[in-house]
């Protein structure tokens, strides 16, 4: 951990009691700040409040009182999910008070080698693969943190100058990380996500590009080269651009040719040996390979990871095989693009479980994928009628169910040996579940109850 004094004696407000907010509040106390912690909800677990107060932190819950804007705070550390049009946040913006996220605080105290990953899809898998690959050849600690569910600042406290940290960073985190400076930045892809928060696609792209804004020619931007738009986006960085591509050969980075992965013209391994399924995971592997090779990792280490790693939970996760049916949990597929790529990963008939929060869009884009890959559909949630319409357009049998749990036995009834039963909702979970993780866990529990087996 790097010793810094910029918070000594400063009055800091931490907004949000998530894992990152709680860790940030305790860290700021260590850094000499006078800390107030505020959450709009009242925690069900009183231990959270007790622990904060025991550290000398003033705690305010149950509201974001606008009066806090008049208490003379020097800095606000905001939970990334709190929008900037929140009245209290907007008041701080109007006053010109710095508003950062916990990722910025983590960067400020981090004293090692930083690799950061962002993108619309594939962030967690790419982060995990990169960490595993670099750790294979490392003599020092190699950890991951960030949007992957582990506090950046908490991990950074325990790392030294020779250690490496791989951070998954969302667009929300990057908006409040003005000085973050990874030596290697990865952009997996950019689609049109979170426009309810960012308002426009350009705002969303600009937020993603904050990952590279402080980079120089001595740093590296690893970026997907499979779309013209992403190639143009790369031109906005000052870093040395390292492309990765499943579709376009580029000797400057990692790419696929005739079923073989190459790094700058040298063979690495066949794509068929990657244990993870689907074209999206080839892309994730290519991104991780580029970062690993830039970090000095050997081909043998890369092969070891890619031939053994079976996936991140809820991200096209293999659950089990039972009576010649394969079960996959892809609850993280909360948008159309993610379900598109999930379906392309299977060469067996798929019984698709899909549906969730109605965000106002329809699913015609999925019709060609339904026609090619899907044997039957079970739909649920607020948008089940729209999902059913798309299935009907594709000529796929569709039945309705209450949710992702009740859909499991319905899928089993429709299945035959050789089929895949896939939860890939194409929608957020919030109409029925508090998170995609809970939705995926409940799906796995339903599979275990059906089969009498534990996930593999």
Q: What is the DSSP string of 3-19?
A: ---TTTT-EEEEE--SH
Structural domain boundaries, residue 66: 11-100
User: Would you say residue 350 lies in a domain?
Assistant: yes
Angle between helices 19-30 and 46-54 (to 10 degrees): 10
Q: Are residues 300 and 159 in the same domain?
A: yes
Contact 425, 331 (CB under 8 A): yes
- Alpha carbon distance 264, 247 (integer Å): 15
A 10 A CB-CB count for 246 gives 18
Q: Are residues 96 and 112 in the same domain?
A: no
Q: What does the pLDDT look like over 98-137, one tens digit per residue?
A: 999 999 999 999 999 999 999 998 999 999 999 999 999 8
CATH number of the domain enclosing 192: 3.40.1190.10
Contact 62, 41 (CB under 8 A): yes
Q: Residue 142: is its pLDDT beyond 90? A: yes
- Alpha carbon distance 368, 175 (integer Å): 36
Interacting residues of 186 by C-beta distance below 8 A, sequence separation 6+: 115, 116, 117, 118, 119, 126, 130, 221, 222, 223, 287, 290, 291
Q: Are residues 186 and 304 in the same domain?
A: yes
72: left (phi over 0), alpha (psi -120 to 50) or beta: left
Domain stops at, among 43, 73, 100: 100
Q: What does the pLDDT look like over 215-251, one tens digit per residue?
A: 999 999 999 999 999 999 999 999 999 999 999 888 8
Q: What does the pLDDT look like over 331-379, one tens digit per residue?
A: 999 999 889 989 988 989 999 999 999 988 899 999 999 999 999 999 9
Burial class (CB in 10 A: 0-12, 13-18, 19+), 63: middle
- Alpha carbon distance 348, 311 (integer Å): 19
Overall domain count for the chain: 3
User: Would you say residue 1 lies in a domain?
Assistant: no
In 292-436, at which residue ranges do the beta strands (DSSP E only) sit? 317-322, 325-329, 350-355, 374-380, 398-400, 420-423
Q: Are residues 243 and 321 in the same domain?
A: no
Q: Are residues 34 and 156 in the same domain?
A: no
CATH number of the domain enclosing 84: 3.40.50.720
Q: Are residues 164 and 205 in the same domain?
A: yes
Q: Are residues 134 and 238 in the same domain?
A: yes
Q: Are residues 265 and 321 in the same domain?
A: no
pTM for the full predicted model: 0.82
User: Would you say residue 166 lies in a domain?
Assistant: yes
């Amino acid at each position: 951990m790097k010793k810094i004094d910029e918070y000594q004696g400063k009055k800091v407000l931490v907004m949000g009691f998530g894992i990152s907010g709680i860790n940030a509040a305790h860290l700021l106390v260590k850094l000499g700040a006078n800390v107030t912690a505020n959450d709009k909800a009242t925690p069900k677990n009183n231990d959270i409040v007790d622990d904060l107060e025991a550290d000398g932190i003033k705690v305010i819950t149950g509201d974001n009182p606008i009066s806090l804007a008049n208490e003379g705070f020097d800095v606000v550390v905001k939970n990334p999910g709190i929008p900037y049009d929140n009245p209290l946040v907007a008041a701080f913006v109007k006053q010109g008070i710095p508003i950062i996220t916990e990722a910025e605080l983590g960067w400020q105290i981090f004293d090692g080698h930083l690799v950061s990953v962002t993108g619309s899809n594939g962030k967690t898998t790419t982060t995990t693969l990169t960490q595993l690959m670099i750790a294979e050849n490392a003599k020092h600690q190699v950890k991951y943190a960030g949007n992957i569910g582990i506090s950046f600042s908490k991990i950074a406290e325990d790392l030294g100058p020779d250690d490496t940290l791989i951070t998954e960073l969302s667009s929300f985190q990057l908006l409040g990380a003005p000085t973050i400076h990874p030596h290697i930045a990865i952009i997996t892809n950019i689609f049109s996500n979170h426009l309810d928060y960012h308002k426009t696609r350009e705002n969303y792209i600009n937020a993603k590009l904050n990952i590279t804004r402080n980079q120089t020619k001595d740093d590296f931007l690893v970026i997907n080269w499979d779309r013209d738009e992403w190639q143009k986006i790369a031109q906005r960085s000052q870093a040395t651009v390292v492309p990765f591509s499943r579709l376009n050969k580029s000797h400057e980075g990692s790419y696929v040719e005739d079923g073989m992965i190459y790094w700058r013209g040298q063979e690495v391994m066949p794509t068929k040996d990657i244990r993870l399924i689907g074209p999206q995971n080839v892309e994730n592997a290519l991104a991780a390979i580029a970062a690993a090779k830039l970090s000095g990792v050997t081909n043998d280490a890369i092969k070891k990871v890619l031939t053994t790693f079976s996936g991140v939970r809820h991200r096209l996760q293999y659950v089990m095989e039972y009576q010649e049916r394969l079960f996959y949990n892809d609850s993280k597929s909360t948008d159309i693009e993610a379900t598109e790529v999930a379906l392309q990963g299977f060469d067996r008939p798929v019984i698709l479980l899909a549906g969730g929060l109605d965000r106002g869009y329809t699913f015609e884009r999925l019709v060609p994928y339904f026609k090619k890959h899907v044997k039957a559909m079970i739909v649920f949630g607020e948008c089940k009628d729209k999902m059913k319409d798309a299935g009907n357009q594709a000529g796929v049998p569709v039945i309705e169910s209450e949710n992702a749990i009740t859909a499991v036995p319905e899928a089993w009834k429709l299945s035959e040996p050789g089929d895949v039963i896939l939860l890939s909702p194409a929608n957020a979970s919030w109409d029925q579940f508090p998170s995609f993780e809970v939705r995926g866990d409940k799906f796995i529990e339903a599979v275990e109850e059906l089969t009498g087996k534990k996930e593999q």
